Amino acid sequence: MEARVEVHADEAAVAAAVAERLVALAGAALRPPFTLALAGGSTPRRLYELLASDAFASRMPWDRVEIFFGDERAVPPDHPDSNWGMASRALLDRVPVRAHRMPAEEGDAEAYARLLAARVPARRGDVPVLDVVLLGLGEDGHTASLFPDTAALDETRRSVVMNDVPQLATRRMTLTFPAINVARHVWLLVTGARKRRLVAGCLGGAEAGAWPVLRVRPEDGELVWWLDDAAAGRGGRR
């Protein structure tokens, strides 16, 4: 399915547009839970803070929402680098929502895969179908913790794996492309001028193997690139 591109003035405007869409989707969900996988990074943090604000918190049906994560560093939840920790401070500690942490420091990806299978009712074969997967984009073209030249890129069966990332001397837990690409909505949140050339390459027809993010190709769901003017290479407001 061809990607749709949404361009907004700045990071705050991107966060507001995504928040509005999430509220609408969660409210329209036919049966709970509405399943959402969170991403790490500064742009998603802005979104989470907005969702916890007075403008949005009362509009989101939190009792119908269940939150998961797209990836996590192998650190405890109180570590400064923890995606869970960031999301907790920005959102999870501020709203009444059920959320499931990835215990990456324990390295048990199979346990998180079993959790997804138990908690996410929709299926595509053996793979749980999440309603929304939020993703970021690294300057090396990685998304979630699917980094260039790492083993997880070639996973075809499992929905969650531990991925060794030698270029960062780290190991991370991540959703795989099989799990991402069956989701109903896959949204890439990308802001800032530093991502401009990469975004232009991704949207300009680069070969699928050029960067890991280009392997994000939902089978039946929508793929949306949510960009600000800087990432999109625009000088002024849309």
d(CA 210, CA 198) in angstroms, rounded, equals 10
Would you state the structure tokens that stand for residue 42, as one six-digit string?
Answer: 């500064």
- Check if the beta carbon of residue 146 is closer than 8 Å to that of residue 136: no
- The reported pLDDT for the residue numbered 1 is 61
- The reported pLDDT for the residue numbered 42 is 87
Q: Domain 4-232 carries which CATH code?
A: 3.40.50.1360
* pLDDT higher than 90, residue 193: yes
- The reported pLDDT for the residue numbered 236 is 46
Give per-residue pLDDT as tens, 64-77: 999 999 999 999 99
Give the burial class of 169: count Cβ atoms within 10 A of its Cβ; 0-12 exposed, 13-18 middle, 19 or more buried: exposed
Give per-residue pLDDT as tens, 20-45: 999 999 999 988 899 999 999 888 99
Would you state the structure tokens that stand for residue 156, as one six-digit string?
Answer: 């075809």
Predicted TM-score of the model (pTM): 0.95
Domains of the chain, by residue range, sit at 4-232
- The reported pLDDT for the residue numbered 208 is 64
* pLDDT higher than 70, residue 171: yes
Task: Name the residue with higher pLDDT: 51 or 234.
Answer: 51
Q: Averaged over 207-217, what is the pLDDT?
A: 88
* pLDDT higher than 80, residue 209: no
Query: What percentage of the chain reaches a pLDDT higher than 90?
Result: 91
Residue at token pair 């999301």: 87
Beta bridge partners of 185: 132, 222
* pLDDT higher than 60, residue 237: no
Closest CA to 178 of 224, 129, 134: 129
- The reported pLDDT for the residue numbered 30 is 81
